[in-house]
């Protein structure tokens, strides 16, 4: 009975809030004026404009995953949702970004309409489990190809080669690469591999290392001048720079190599070969470039498709 009353109070509060919530429809678009908004696309998702027509006669002989997709008429894809221009979900629930469009392209070559994709947000630590357990059909989201992971799953690709790089304020001139970080505050995700590298190689002093749970928190601190650089894979950094090209830039001197692959079930070689063929085709016919230019490339940095590593 008490719980009921507690719940009633909570209900009243939320009712009061929702009664007040009679806002304008549509998506908020930043009005011009302040420098932070000029040129930025805001929070609304914009796609590269590439269209993916589902292949009507797609077949992958001997692939259990494909048979499952075909009979279901839909595909379940694991993605990220918090990386602008890479794997992002806006306030309206629309998804966009380089990884998202790669995922849509792959779906279309499997004969599935991209509009019918069922997206699942899978945290980095859970990716292998989700693929092994069949929770998702494939995963596209800054997924580095490593031998350790190949024990559990398999990779098609790489479809992108990233490297650890630095995101700085547009007017920054002192930071030009990893050896110019001494005495500068460097931010990255708590305990992540990039920040471990900074620590282990002594790129800056231990007291100048700043760590937050997510990269967007680091970017906020960068704009507030509380840190001087944000470090992680350049793909992620380019996404932030593309969101705010007037205030941010990527240094462009990567100091590591991360090959992003599409995570697939381990024993489905037929599907892996097929997906590799499709990535190759996209690289040849300009689809890859179109997707890149319309997403990550908006930050102004060029990119080109990497060589495949079949196995």
Partner 1 sequence: MSQASVLYDLPGPKARRRNAILGVASIAGIVALLAYIGWKFYETGQFEARKWEQFEYAAVQRELLAGLWATLKAAGIAAVLALLFGAVFASARLSDKWVLRAPASFVVELFRAIPLLILIFFGYYVPLQYGWSIDKLWALVIGLVLYNGSVLAEIFRAGINAVPYGQTEGAYAIGLRKNQVLRLILLPQAFRSMLPAIVSQLVVLLKDTALGFIITYPELLFVGKQIGGRLAFGLPYVPTYLIVAAIYIAICGLLSIFAWWLQKQLGRMPRTAAKVLPAQDAGEDAARMV
Partner 2 sequence: MGEFLRVLTDNWTLYREGFTNTVQLFLIAAVGSLVLGTLLGAMRVSPVPALRAFGATYVNIVRNTPLTLVFAFLVFAVPKLDVNIDYFPSACIALTVYTAAFVCEVIRSGVNTVGTGQAEAARALGMSFAQVLTLIVLPQALRAMVPPMMSVFIAMLKNTTIAAGFSVLEAGAIPAYMAERGEPQFAVLLWITIGFLILILPLVALQRFLERKWRVAR
The single residue among 18, 125, 147, 304 that binds partner 2, judged by CB under 8 A, is: 125
The single residue among 39, 196, 201, 202 that binds partner 2, judged by CB under 8 A, is: 196
151 binds partner 1 (CB under 8 A): no
The single residue among 216, 266, 280, 290 that binds partner 1, judged by CB under 8 A, is: 216
If the CB atoms of residues 152 and 211 are measured against partner 2, the closer one turns out to be: 211
Give the x/- contact pattern for partner 2 in 218-247, rule: CB under 8 A. --xx--xxx---------------------
Beta bridge partners, 210, equal: 187
Q: Which residues of 254-292 are buried (b: 16+ CB within 10 A; e: fewer)?
A: bbeebbbbbbbbbebeebbbbbbebbbebbeeebbbbbb
Task: Show the tokens assigned to 67.
Answer: 């048979």
The single residue among 4, 19, 21, 302 that binds partner 1, judged by CB under 8 A, is: 21
The single residue among 144, 212, 277, 290 that binds partner 2, judged by CB under 8 A, is: 212
Nearest residue to 77 via CA among 95, 59, 54, 104:
104
Q: Are 57 and 72 in contact (CB under 8 A)?
A: no
Task: Show the tokens assigned to 185.
Answer: 């505050």
The single residue among 21, 61, 191, 302 that binds partner 2, judged by CB under 8 A, is: 191
213 binds partner 2 (CB under 8 A): yes
The stretch among 30-38, 135-143, 150-158, 209-217 that binds partner 2 (CB under 8 A) is: 209-217
- Whole-angstrom distance, CA of residue 107 vs CA of residue 111: 7
How far is the CA of 150 from the CAs of 48, 124, 126, 261, 308, in angstroms? 31, 15, 15, 11, 16
Strands 186-189 and 153-162 come out as unpaired
13 binds partner 1 (CB under 8 A): yes
130 binds partner 1 (CB under 8 A): yes
306's CB contacts (< 8 A; 6+ apart) are 158, 159, 160, 161, 259
299 binds partner 1 (CB under 8 A): no
The single residue among 74, 126, 196, 257 that binds partner 1, judged by CB under 8 A, is: 126
Nearest residue to 242 via CA among 176, 292, 192:
292
131 φ/ψ angles, rounded to the nearest 5 degrees: -75, -45
Nearest residue to 262 via CA among 161, 155, 162, 147:
155
The site partner of 226 among partner 2, partner 1, none (C-beta below 5 to 8 Å per kind) is: partner 2
Q: Which residues bind partner 1 (CB under 8 A)?
A: 2-3, 5-7, 9-10, 12-14, 16-18, 21-28, 30-31, 33-34, 36-37, 40-43, 91-92, 123, 125-126, 129-130, 133, 135, 213-214, 216-217, 219-220, 223-224, 243-244, 247
Q: Which residues bind partner 2 (CB under 8 A)?
A: 125, 187, 190-193, 196, 210-213, 217, 220-221, 224-226
């Amino acid at each position: 009975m008490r719980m009921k009353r507690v719940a009633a109070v909570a209900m009243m509060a939320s009712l009061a809030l929702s009664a007040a919530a009679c806002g304008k429809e549509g998506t908020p678009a930043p009005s011009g004026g302040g420098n932070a908004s000029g040129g930025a696309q805001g929070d609304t998702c914009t796609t590269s404009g590439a269209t993916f027509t589902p292949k009507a006669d797609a077949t992958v002989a001997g692939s259990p995953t494909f048979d499952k997709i075909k009979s279901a008429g839909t595909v379940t894809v694991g993605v990220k949702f918090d990386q602008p221009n890479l794997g992002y979900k806006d306030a309206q629930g629309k998804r966009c970004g380089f990884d998202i469009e790669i995922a849509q392209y792959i779906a279309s070559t499997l004969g599935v309409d991209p509009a019918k994709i069922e997206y699942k947000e899978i945290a980095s630590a859970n990716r292998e489990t989700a693929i092994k357990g069949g929770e998702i059909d494939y995963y596209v989201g800054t997924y580095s190809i490593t031998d350790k992971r190949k024990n559990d799953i398999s990779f098609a690709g790489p479809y992108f080669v990233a490297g650890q790089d630095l995101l700085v304020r547009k007017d920054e001139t002192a930071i030009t690469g990893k050896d110019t970080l001494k005495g500068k505050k460097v931010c990255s995700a708590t305990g992540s591999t990039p920040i471990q590298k900074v620590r282990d190689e002594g790129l800056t002093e231990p007291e100048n290392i700043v760590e937050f749970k997510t990269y967007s928190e680091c970017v906020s601190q960068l704009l507030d001048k509380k840190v001087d650089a944000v470090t992680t894979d350049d793909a992620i950094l380019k996404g932030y720079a593309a969101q705010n090209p007037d205030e941010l830039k990527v240094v462009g001197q990567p100091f590591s190599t991360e090959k992003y692959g599409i995570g697939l079930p381990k024993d489905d070689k037929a599907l892996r070969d097929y997906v590799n063929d499709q990535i190759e085709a996209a690289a040849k016919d300009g689809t890859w470039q179109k997707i890149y230019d319309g997403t990550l490339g908006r930050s102004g940095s060029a990119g080109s498709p990497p060589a495949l590593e079949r196995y």
